[in-house]
Structure 1
Amino acid sequence: MGDDIRKVIQQLIVKVPGLYSIIISDRDGVPVLTVESDKAPEVAMRPSFLSTFGLAIDQGGKLGLGKTKTLICTYSQYQVIQMNKLPLIVSFIASDSCNTGHILALEQQIDPILNNLKLAVVET
């Protein structure tokens, strides 16, 4: 199952020019599945960086903004898009010139994959 999921996610990376990696992690930033290209920045794939999304969605809820679905951060050379699929977090790391809309459109294709992974995470 893991290799099949990895292949599907690798195909998604190839579809979007400038997309460097897709990381599926738990709320604490522990990677469950990582697929990356050679251009992926090491610092953005660390659990300490990935876990900040969990803190950000908590703060948004405290402000009364409702449930956070997606967080988009842009930096000088990269952009990071993180999707709330609790108990999983999906992080997309891309170049600053990558089309953000294309990455957001991947949500429909990645949701069926996550259903199998969610069951595995909840059981453990």
Structure 2
Amino acid sequence: MKVGTDKTPEHATRPNFISTFGLAIDQGSKLGLGKTKTLIATYSQYQVIQMNKLPLIVTFITSDSCNTGRILSLEKQLEPLLAEIAYSVSEA
């Protein structure tokens, strides 16, 4: 599922950019850091916040001035919805 606006940077929504999260969580695990829950990357004009909700990965692409803490606080509110989506994905 993908939702965006005209202001969403096109290169940030490309599959190869989004899929790097999978590589990052794998590397963190190999380093003995444990399971990666969230990854935050900041750039000059936007930031990318990704949440590990396997089998789902939730990605927020926001402005550089977005309140990152507010986005992270949405996690608990999203849990019931994500559980339903994850169930549907695993059943498909």
If the TM-score is normalised by the length of the shorter chain, which range does it land in?
over 0.9
**Cα displacement string for residues 43-101 of structure 1 (whole angstroms, at most 9, x for unaligned residues):** 11111111100000000000000000000000010100000000000000001111100
* Higher mean displacement: 36-45 or 90-99: 36-45
- The equivalent of 1:41 in structure 2 is 9
The equivalent position to 1:105 in structure 2, one of 60, 73, 89, is: 73
Q: Which runs of 5+ in 1 are unaligned?
A: 1-32
Structure with the higher fraction of residues in strand conformation: 1
- The equivalent of 1:6 in structure 2 is none
Q: Per-residue deviation at 1:37?
A: 2.1
- The equivalent of 2:40 in structure 1 is 72
TM-score, structure 1 normalization: 0.72
Matching residue's letter, 2:62:
A
C-alpha distance in 2 between matches for 1:99 and 1:123: 35
Q: Runs in 1 of length 4+ with deviation above 3 angstroms?
A: none
1:1-124 paired onto structure 2 within 5 Å: 33-124=1-92
C-alpha distance in 1 between matches for 2:69 and 2:5: 20
RMSD: 0.8
Matched residues, percent identical? 71
Which of structures 1 and 2 has the larger relative contact order (alpha carbons within 8 angstroms, sep 6+)? 1
* Count of residue correspondences: 92
C-alpha distance in 2 between matches for 1:61 and 1:48: 21
Matching residue's letter, 1:115:
A
